[in-house]
Chains A and B, each alone.
Chain A
Amino acid sequence: MDYSKAKKVLEVSHLKQYFNIGKPNEVHAVDDISFDVYEGETFGLVGESGSGKTTTGRAIIHLYEPTEGKIIFDGQDVSKLNTKEKRQHFRREMQMIFQDPYASLNPRMKVKDIVAEGIDINHLAKDDADRSKQVEDLLETVGLNKDHSSRYPHEFSGGQRQRIGIARALAVQPQFIIADEPISALDVSIQAQVVNLLKKLQKENNLTYLFIAHDLSMVKYISDRIGVMHYGRMLEIATSDEIYAHPLHDYTASLLSAVPVPDPEYERARVQKDYDASQEFDGKERKLVEIVPHHWVRASEDEIPMYKERAMKESRLKDED
């Protein structure tokens, strides 16, 4: 992807999301993060539990009012959607797919009504026949049978339910989808099916994805670029190939070294890299710095030369390969 020409769909700048402000249990869930997402790409957000990746996704779709910072979607600040039309437009353009396919579908609604809810709210169907037609088409797109439309969610398996969730998100023809751990509740063989579906839909509809997950090998596979979060901060952003082949931040390297690989020989030889998180809390001022083109690392002024040298070393290794 040529990022110099690509259009920014989403700009997150200096986003802070605090909870329980002023109380003893104040939490800095997201602490000053900035990143852009370009049209048609998949941006993967990885991190361990508590890193703030889900909070970031929720802040972007405006489920929370940001404590500080700006989220610009499609040229519009999502905190300043001051007319009904603007809000409705935003909600059509941005949709979400959730982690738990059991909790995210209303058990008392038929599949066709779940899928058509967005169509109804946005008056996208001319009449009942058109509505049914749209629902059937959507079910077919996600690989379900159109006869499934009058059934209830409990009649489906986890993978099928996730497909219903995807159909619901697609019903309003969004351009941006936030997928929060969309496959972690599914079996291995079903995960591949859903990932393939998401990729196919992206190509057909020119969708942009924010893919939030902790399964690093799946994120690597699906994403064009990846952001690594830890303690509510963004530590590193790069293309997925770059971040996996040449991680610059110690945390990223440690995270990657912990991923189990289905290869016994590799596993027997594996050395896990330790990471000392205290280095993030030494009081130095840090921000994301572009060390090599398109590869950003959170660093303080005096750490920049060290990261530059690291990147040099890595690229020399690359040449020797």
Chain B
Amino acid sequence: MEDERNILEVRDLKIDFKTYAGRVKAIRDVSFDLRKGETLAIVGESGSGKSVTTRSIMGLLAQNAVVTGGSIEFKGDDLLKKSDKQMDAIRGRDIAEIFQDPMTSLDPTMKIGKQIAEPLMIHKGMKKEKAYAQALEMMKLVGITDAEKRINNYPHQFSGGMRQRIVIAIALVNYPEILIADEPTTALDVTIQAQILDLMKELQEKINTSIIFITHDLGVVAGMADRVAVMYAGKLVEYGTVDEIFYNPKHPYTWGLLNSMPTMDTTGDELPSIPGTPPDLLDPPAGDAFAPRNPYALKIDTEQEPPFFKVSDTHYAATWLLDERAPKVTPPEPIIERQKHFKELTAAALKSHKNQHVNEQEEQL
């Protein structure tokens, strides 16, 4: 482990899918870290590789997937080198996942009490009574009212929001170190979504788990994430703290994503949209995969892949626009507004930091 704070380190991950048409290069050199207790959001469109990345962490890749390179280190061990049996022991104990659709991730023929208690009996060898008692506690923790009665209910007897609470209870019952949440609220209504997100934040604090949060909803990301990684066509294109990504984005794809989502204040005849569609990963284009859809593309974008340029200690973006030889471009108007706000934020942070410093000195005197 390069960094003490990291619980997971993904390095140069490459995954192909074998298909009749050829090899789909779904993940192309992805590296990132997950820190203890943080929420890392991975955003991107469908097919960008966000779910494949997390499936590989869980050891749940499809039969036709081939990991062609890289490593996934969890507490110093490479998960990619583990046998299926070893992964069975890790999955559900150290790393758990909640999925998008709460109906298909629950067993319709099993009482929910058993579904919540099962991970305890399997991974911790707990006796039935004790496991059920803990399952009951967990049900109360995730906010299922009348838990004593409902422990004997089947999934269909619950609403969508309640089912997702049950799924969360199952995932967290072993207090996993990493929780992967793959679009956990996409199937839910906004008011229920808000409740579930609040619940996840609350539980994260209680059991100090790290969350990898996959979503395409930037509104949800803004509320949940400590750090954000943006994926496009099987690659990371930008990552940084949530403030850096939302208020000081550098990659034109991040600009496009932020712009194409209307807010309550958006008016005008046309929404800024990203033209075209993502590339075919059977045969990824040379250079920057986003170039054909990028109004700011340079000539070099079609020839050579951009490396990561450092914006700050925590913020990196893979775009040639950050190269010192690149021409200065003006981002779209709303992005300039966001960047202005970022300057105010950093200025304010600097000031409060200085004040704090002065106060400390005064105290010492």
Contacts and interface: CB of A to CB of B under 8 A. Distances in A.
Interface of A: 48-49, 157-160, 187-193, 195-196, 199, 214, 216-218, 220-221, 244, 254-256, 258-268, 270, 272, 275
Contacts of B198: 272
Chain A to chain B: the 4 pairs with minimum beta-carbon distance, closest first: A260-B219, A192-B273, A267-B223, A192-B260
A189 B222 contact: no
B190 A189 contact: no
Chain B facing A: main interface SS: helix
B248 to A, nearest CB: 12
Contact of A255 (B45, B190, B256, B271): B190
Given A190-B277, A221-B262, A258 B223 contact: no
A167 B362 CA distance: 72
A272 B194 contact: yes
Contact of B246 (A199, A260, A264): A264
A266 B246 CA distance: 12
A261 B216 CA distance: 13
B223 A254 contact: no
A25 B145 CA distance: 25
Given A192-B273, A244-B264, A262-B261, A214 B190 contact: yes
A254 B189 CA distance: 12
A199 B269 contact: yes
Given A48-B191, A187-B216, A196-B270, A262 B277 contact: no
B256 A258 contact: no
B273 A254 contact: no
Interface string B308-349: 000000000000000000000000000000000000010000
A157 B216 CA distance: 17
B277 A157 contact: yes
14 contacts: A48-B190, A49-B160, A189-B257, A192-B260, A192-B262, A193-B275, A196-B271, A214-B190, A217-B261, A217-B262, A217-B263, A260-B219, A262-B261, A268-B223
A240 to B, nearest CB: 10
A264 B273 contact: no
Interface in B35-56: 45-46
Contacts of B204: none
Contacts of A263: 222, 246, 263
Contacts of A49: 160, 189
Interface string B166-198: 000000000000000000000001111110011
B260 A189 contact: yes
Given A188-B257, A264-B223, A272-B198, 12 more contacts: A49-B189, A160-B277, A189-B260, A189-B274, A190-B45, A195-B271, A220-B264, A260-B193, A261-B222, A261-B264, A262-B263, A263-B222
A147 to B, nearest CB: 16
Interface residues of B, number: 42
A256 B261 CA distance: 16
A157 B247 CA distance: 31
Contacts of B273: 189-190, 192-193, 196
Contacts of B160: 49
A258 B246 contact: no
A220 B190 contact: no
B220 interface: yes
A263 B223 CA distance: 8
Contacts of B90: none
B262 A220 contact: yes
Nearest to B262: A221
A189 B256 contact: yes
Contacts of A261: 219, 222, 263-264
Contacts of A157: 277
A119 to B, nearest CB: 28
Nearest to B269: A199
Nearest to B241: A264
B272 A192 contact: yes
A251 to B, nearest CB: 9
A48 B189 contact: yes
A259 B216 contact: no
A263 B15 CA distance: 33
A151 to B, nearest CB: 15
Given A264-B242, A264-B243, A188 B260 contact: yes
Contacts of A160: 277
Contacts of A265: 345
Interface in B204-236: 216-223
Given A48-B191, A217-B266, A266-B222, A260 B271 contact: no
A159 B263 CA distance: 21
Contacts of A264: 222-223, 242-243, 246-247
Given A188-B257, A188-B261, A217-B262, A267 B222 contact: yes
Given A189-B273, A193-B275, A214 B219 contact: no
A262 B218 contact: yes
B34 interface: no
Contacts of B79: none
B138 interface: no
Contacts of A196: 270-271, 273
Nearest to A185: B46
Contacts of B247: 264
A231 B131 CA distance: 39
Given A189-B274, A192-B271, A214-B189, A259 B221 contact: no
A133 to B, nearest CB: 27
B193 to A, nearest CB: 7
B216 A188 contact: yes
A199 B262 contact: no
Quick one: which of B246, B247, B262 has the most chain A CB within 10 A?
B262
Contacts of A259: 190, 219, 264
A275 B192 CA distance: 12
B220 A260 contact: yes
Contacts of B263: 217, 261-263
A261 B247 CA distance: 13
Contacts of A48: 189-192
B264 A260 contact: no
Contacts of B267: 221
Contacts of B257: 188-189
A85 B45 CA distance: 46
